[in-house]
Structure 1
Amino acid sequence: MRPAGDTAGTRAGHLAGIYPALMIGIFFLIPFALMLAVSVAHRVPDGFYEFAFEADNYRRIFEPVYLRTTLFSVGIAALVAAICIAIGFPFTYHLTRLPRRAQVLWLIFILAVLSLSEVLIAFCWQVLLSRTAGIGNVAVWLGLVERASSFYPSFGAVVLALVYLVLPYSVLVLYPPLSRLEPEIPEAARMLGASPLRTFFGTVVPVMRPAITAAAIMIFVFTIGAYLIPQVLGKPEHWTLSVLITDQAVFNANMPFAAALASFLMAITVVLVMAVLWLERRQEAA
């Protein structure tokens, strides 16, 4: 006969598992099911739709313009993730080596940056990169150029603003594992004659590879869904798939096709994330 305490503990464990499952169902599974249902619906005039089962919206995704935009979205998200890791990892590593008071001040500053919305960041960078009141005027004042010019719309402006938007997230994700890194690990490498640069890339980076992978995945997922910055700071060829989804849903009132594009983007994201995790596990097992 099972003791009463074990039965109560098992029941409490089951009840504790119901809440996360309920939240996932309410905030993910149900909205995703509705989006799938709308993606195969039949569009009717005046921006409405009626539920049916039509695959025309998914066939339209494979038109060259949407495939090209999908590849661009994946590419720019991967580029931004790589830049953020290249900047954020060394910064976070040195941040964890500062005195505690200095670490707190830097973290407060990073959290303050996180309070800025994508709307505010997009339009602030629009002003900074403009010809009339931007960085170009500073360059003229320093004598670097003869005449101020606008740096947007351009691919560089989009990448710069996206990196500014998501870099604080990479620092916050990397900070806990780097703060728990034993100081003896890099010290042992230096005692064996390794230079600081070789210690960093040969010892610290391999140990923190799971944390780097997690931060890169989070940045990639966050960036691939950005739509305002590419729309404000980029040309039409720099628009991501999220911009086209918004355009179809808001301006064209074509909710079925917008839902199909959103489902396609989510599927691409999930496949890429699972592929990265599979490669990471395979390298750890090797």
Structure 2
Amino acid sequence: MTAARPQRLQDYAPLVFPALMLTVFFVVPFGIMVAISFFRRVQGAFYEPDFVFDNYARFLSAFFGQVLGFSLVLATLVALVAVTIAFPFTFLLARLPRRWQVVWLVALLSIVSLSEVIVGFAWSTLFSRTAGVTNILVALGLMSEPMSLSPSFGALLTGLSYHAFPYTVLVLYPALARLDPTLMEAARTLGASPPRAFVTVVVPALRNTILATMIMVFVFALGSYLLPQLLGRPSNWTLSVLITDQAIYQSNLPFAAAMAVFLVLVSLALVGLSLLVGRKEAAQ
């Protein structure tokens, strides 16, 4: 079945309200942010209307380029870790009895309902010296004394991967639930072990879904704001943290707007790429 194209003006009526909301809550604020990104900051004041490229030129400096590079690398690592763990987990989940699938999905949705603040403080407690996991290692005789694991890059990567994991599973679940189980059976009949059949049959069959999910997780991690501050050092802060610092604490709203415009454009480009990959997956 194919959807019929609108023939009359009345057929576009259902799109009026979503288009209005998109215009009011995204297009207009984004347009204002783009305009402010070209304004000039005035010493002793806030900013004044102008049309200069100084804010974008400053964004290309070594320090801010390093922050941008770190943000992109961190988001890439989070996407790789989350998808690598979530894909086999979701594959096994999709083959459980229906009742247990519902239980696991409800548990994942309960994790999604947790705010980033709760997740950040929970992991900072687990990584602390006084009440962290190292105390268990000391009790088992694996360590001589407890130590703090946070703030650090490892703690930040762990926290972001955990925060992205339930979203990753929920995105992968529909595709894996629809996967034809006879593919694995055919591979097993031809002599492949379960791990080899999974790697050589299931993963290639859903490569577009995996790529789209990685892009989604990448965008999710790229906009992270609270976890880098709670679990990471200042050297581990992402571009989102720097935007807030420039806008609120440095009173440099034009420069913050320029960085935010770049971040939004990167996110929109990746979302568009994800939709393109999804269309290819649906067409196959």
Question: Does the alignment reach a TM-score above 0.5?
Answer: yes
Which residue does the alignment assign to 1:3?
none
Q: Offset of 1:283 from its aligned partner? A: 11
- Aligned counterpart for 2:106 among listed residues 90, 105, 108: 108
Which residue does the alignment assign to 2:63?
65
The structure-2 alpha-carbon separation of the partners of 1:145 and 1:45, relative to structure 1 and needing over 3 Å to count, comes to same
Q: Offset of 1:277 from its aligned partner? A: 7.4
Q: Offset of 1:193 from its aligned partner? A: 1.9
How far, CA to CA, are the matches of 1:100 and 1:47 in structure 2?
62
User: CA RMSD of the aligned region, Å?
Assistant: 2.6
How far, CA to CA, are the matches of 1:147 and 1:212 in structure 2?
41
Q: Deviations over 1:80-137 (max 9, x none)?
A: 0000110000000000000000000000100010111111111111111011111111
1:1-286 aligned at under 5 Å gives the runs: 10-45=8-43, 48-271=46-269
The structure-2 alpha-carbon separation of the partners of 1:220 and 1:249, relative to structure 1 and needing over 3 Å to count, comes to same
How far, CA to CA, are the matches of 1:51 and 1:195 in structure 2?
66
Q: Which runs of 5+ in 2 are unaligned?
A: none
Q: Deviations over 1:34-76 (max 9, x none)?
A: 1101111222356632322121111110110100010110001
How far, CA to CA, are the matches of 1:73 and 1:8 in structure 2?
43
TM-score with structure 2 setting the length = 0.90
Q: Offset of 1:246 from its aligned partner? A: 0.9
Q: Which runs of 5+ in 1 are unaligned?
A: 1-5
Amino acid of the structure 2 residue aligned with 1:228? L
Q: Deviations over 1:240-283 (max 9, x none)?
A: 11111111112112111111111122233445566777799999
The structure-2 alpha-carbon separation of the partners of 1:283 and 1:31, relative to structure 1 and needing over 3 Å to count, comes to same
The structure-2 alpha-carbon separation of the partners of 1:235 and 1:7, relative to structure 1 and needing over 3 Å to count, comes to closer
Q: Deviations over 1:180-227 (max 9, x none)?
A: 112122212212222211211111111111211121111100100002
Amino acid of the structure 2 residue aligned with 1:162? L
How far, CA to CA, are the matches of 2:112 and 2:282 in structure 1?
33
CA contact (8 A) 2:209 2:277 kept: no
Amino acid of the structure 1 residue aligned with 2:150? Y
TM-score with structure 1 setting the length = 0.90
Q: Offset of 1:77 from its aligned partner? A: 0.2
* Structure 1 range deviating more: 44-53 or 100-109: 44-53
How far, CA to CA, are the matches of 2:210 and 2:158 in structure 1?
21
CA contact (8 A) 1:47 1:254 kept: no
* Structure 1 range deviating more: 90-99 or 7-16: 7-16
Amino acid of the structure 2 residue aligned with 1:260? A
Amino acid of the structure 1 residue aligned with 2:118? L
User: SS in structure 1 opposite 2:8?
Assistant: helix
Q: Deviations over 1:147-178 (max 9, x none)?
A: 11100111100000001111100000001111
The structure-2 alpha-carbon separation of the partners of 1:7 and 1:78, relative to structure 1 and needing over 3 Å to count, comes to closer
Amino acid of the structure 1 residue aligned with 2:218? F
